[in-house]
Chains A and B, each alone.
Chain A
Amino acid sequence: MKIRVLPGVLALLAAPAASAFCGFYVAQADASLFNQASQVVLVRHGDDTTMTMANDYRGSLSEFAVVIPVPVAVTREQVKVADKAMIDRLDAYSAPRLTEYFDPDPCPDPRDLMRVYKSEQRAMTVEDDEGMAAPSSRSLGVRVLDAYTVGEYDIVILSATQSSGLETWLTQNGYRIPANAGPILGSYIKQNMKFFVAKVNLREQAKTAQPYLRPLRISYSSPKFMLPIRLGMVNADGPQDLLVYALTERGRVETTNYRTTKLPTQESVPEFVKEDFGTFYKAMFAQQVKDEGMETVFTEYAWPLTLQCDPCSADPITGDELRALGVSWAAPDQYGYGQQPAYLTRLHLRYDLAHFPEDLTFQETADTGTWQAIYPIHHAFTGDTSCPAGRTYETELARRQQLEVQTLVSLTGWSRSWAQSRIPRRPGAVPPPPDNGGGGFWDWWK
């Protein structure tokens, strides 16, 4: 059988406007702000965490501001701006993917029998369609622990003793706080969390000559292995999506306070799915979220970087790229690709306040296995199938296509008749079994 690997980098997260998983964007004018989708890279090594947050803010740069609770005060040396390309590389490398298989000729010419089928590999990349002053702080119980500029961001690290003081301070300094953020800020204050507050320094931003904001990378040392998502839900307009790329030394990462489960994988789907894999994947993800009652975190990829990806949807991640994301223990690249002593887990969740009331906490497990969300498609042979073996092939093909339609319907919730209509008619093909709409329970007798 001729096999071609066609990894599809999924255009998964449509983020029409700004997004913030763990903080909230606070506008200084009436800009429309939404939280829809976010990407974050979490590197965890012992008690050290490095968090890189993709910024897909699309509003006016002068209005951008973000407040992120952090377990400890973060110094100037611990904040960096990262290259968005690094996150895109992780996305491309770990994205759910299609694999293509080509059916062999059922009526081969004997002269061709010795031919060696070569597999070819090709990557199909789809772009993600998806962003001070301190007056009378002491009287408000707010302490400015540090203030510095990193890249295009003016950053202030705050500690506070009461939420009302913090709210007042933020308001006085031009940050617009959502009305009901107070109790959550208060909870973080009592948990001794600090606040990382960032605005855009327009002069520095102009120097970068980039139209967008680069990701912020924050490092700190704390036993807390968590992501604060509560503030991000305060001004959320409906459920949000979050993609977490966790890089650890040993094993798979999972949430400890929510169920982590794996998506359906290795499910053969009809050929036409290739035309719009992104739409298929979005529908399937939505269906899985629905089936799990929106209470589950989904694993999309879990693979040690010591092993070669199989199939690869992008070039392997290099040591330099890993170091740029905070993987301090990455190996030099001279050992070649696929030899990095790290484990990559990609988690995807859709969440809102009703289903995810508390922040996400994680653990690194001892699971060092390989797992990926992969969906094979089988291309039917398109040549002459008039020989006896060819007729058998046509019968088998019709049955296989029915199964693929059934799989597609159960994965996505799409209409069976619509999916059926997308299967191309084959000249001289055996007619497909009748559609009884019942999911093929009686197919067993055939």
Chain B
Amino acid sequence: MPRDPRWYQLASLATLLLWGLVGLSFEVTSLQAVLTISAALATQWACTRVWRLPTFEWKSALITSFSLCLLLRTDTPWFAAFAAFLAMASKFVVRVRGKHLFNPANLAVVVGLLSGRAWVSAGQWGNTALLAFFLAGLGTLVVTRSARSDVTIAFFLSWAALHLGRAWWLGDPLTIPLHRFQSGALLLFGFFMISDPKTTPDHPVARVLYACIVAYVGFSIQFLHFRTNGLMWALVVCVPLVPLFDLFFRARRFEWSAPSRPWSLA
């Protein structure tokens, strides 16, 4: 078994992307996919050279570009490339105490939404339970391997509590929160985005708190302020909390794989 969990993440995301393109007719042109992947790899490579890093982390660039292909929709191909560039560059530029702040794909998606040139089709996965289980299975594998299952579990529990609580308060049938849980976009966020070990607090207690806060902020954006893509906004908004948590809750920083590697940029 490979030690680097990113292999599993890559395989999962590639499978999901393939399924999305073939089975669910995602509106991603091959040009957009090629531009996204090339721009991400090129930016990662260039930044590795500029910052004189020992390793070219192509796996991380590929993971981000797959996430962007899954999430970001645009009818401007150059914007797809720009988003990928922005995502990768942010890892090298926006850093606090040697740790990058934003989840690269999340930042690119939010910039896309703000620019008005891109959108996220949250409903594109449909709501089939089968799909949910499939995603969950793949995601669990990734989370287990990257040792960040606490964030994912805390996030899903608080998200479920918020929805079930709301349904109970409104007197809505259980089918409504269940329908919302069976969303591919939600599972993708929980398993592959918020769980990013490089952009979550180092301490497990801080991570659980952080996940609960992101869930609440996302929920309130979506259901109290009635804006779409609540979780995407929430993750970006909550970014300043991570260095704060790291300041108060000290713990060993996460490294992707080889302990011998001095440091890496995921």
Contact = CB atoms under 8 A, between A and B. Distances in A.
Interface in A342-384: 357-358, 361, 363, 365-369
Contacts of B128: 293, 295
Given A223-B226, A223-B227, A256-B228, A296 B126 contact: yes
B119 A258 contact: no
Interface of A: 183, 186-187, 190-191, 222-225, 250-251, 254-262, 292-293, 295-296, 357-358, 361, 363, 365-369
B75 interface: yes
B173 interface: yes
Contact of B170 (A190, A254, A257): A190
B72 to A, nearest CB: 10
Contacts of A293: 128
A257 B226 contact: no
Nearest to A296: B126
A28 B109 CA distance: 52
Contact of A255 (B24, B123, B171, B226): B123
B193 to A, nearest CB: 18
Given A256-B228, A259-B127, A366 B117 contact: yes
B15 interface: no
A223 B222 CA distance: 11
B123 A259 contact: yes
Contacts of A191: 170
Interface stretch (B5-13, B98-106, B174-182, B249-257): B174-182
Contacts of B74: 366
Contact of B121 (A186, A260, A357, A368): A260
Q: Which 3 A-B pairs have the closest CB atoms?
A: A365-B119, A357-B175, A259-B126
A260 B123 contact: yes
Interface in B190-242: 225-228
B123 A367 contact: no
A187 B177 CA distance: 13
| Residue from A223, A224, A367 whose CB has the most chain B CB atoms within 10 Å | A367
Contacts of B179: 257, 357-358
Contacts of A365: 73, 119, 121
B144 interface: no
Contact of A369 (B24, B75, B172, B173): B75
B233 to A, nearest CB: 13
Given A256-B122, A259-B123, A295-B128, A250 B116 contact: yes
B189 interface: no
Nearest to B119: A365
17 contacts: A183-B172, A183-B173, A187-B172, A222-B226, A223-B225, A223-B226, A223-B227, A250-B116, A255-B123, A256-B123, A258-B127, A366-B73, A366-B74, A367-B27, A367-B119, A368-B75, A369-B75
Q: Is the interface of B mostly helix, strand, loop or mixed?
A: loop
A363 B228 contact: yes
Nearest to A353: B175
A363 B225 contact: no
B108 interface: no
B48 interface: no
Contacts of B43: none
Nearest to A187: B170
A190 B169 contact: yes
Nearest to A358: B176
Contacts of A292: 126
Interface in B33-55: none
B124 to A, nearest CB: 6
A367 B32 CA distance: 14
B83 interface: no
Contacts, number: 77
Nearest to A364: B119
Q: For the side of the interface on B, what is the size category?
A: 20 to 34
A357 B173 contact: yes
Nearest to A190: B170
Interface in B98-143: 116-119, 121-128
Contacts of A251: 119
A293 B129 CA distance: 12
A363 B127 contact: no
A51 to B, nearest CB: 16
B25 A363 contact: no
Contacts of B172: 183, 187
A241 B240 CA distance: 47
Given A223-B227, A365-B73, A366-B116, A254 B175 contact: no
Contacts of B170: 186-187, 190-191
Nearest to B179: A357
Contacts of B27: 367
Given A190-B169, A293-B128, A367 B226 contact: no
Contacts of A295: 126-128
A183 B167 CA distance: 11
B123 A254 contact: yes
Given A187-B172, A191-B170, A366-B118, A361 B228 contact: yes
Contacts of B183: 257
A223 to B, nearest CB: 4
Nearest to B25: A261
A357 B225 CA distance: 21
A369 B27 CA distance: 12
Nearest to A361: B228
A293 B23 CA distance: 14
A385 B42 CA distance: 59
Contacts of A361: 228
B144 to A, nearest CB: 29
A357 B123 CA distance: 15
Contacts of A296: 126
A346 to B, nearest CB: 17
Given A257-B179, A296-B126, 19 more contacts: A183-B171, A187-B170, A187-B172, A190-B171, A222-B226, A225-B226, A250-B116, A254-B121, A255-B123, A259-B126, A260-B121, A261-B25, A262-B25, A295-B128, A358-B180, A361-B228, A365-B73, A366-B75, A367-B75
Contacts of B117: 366
Given A259-B126, A366-B74, A186 B171 contact: yes
Nearest to A357: B175
Given A357-B175, A357-B176, A258 B73 contact: no
Nearest to B125: A259
Most B CB within 10 A of own CB, among A251, A257, A366: A366
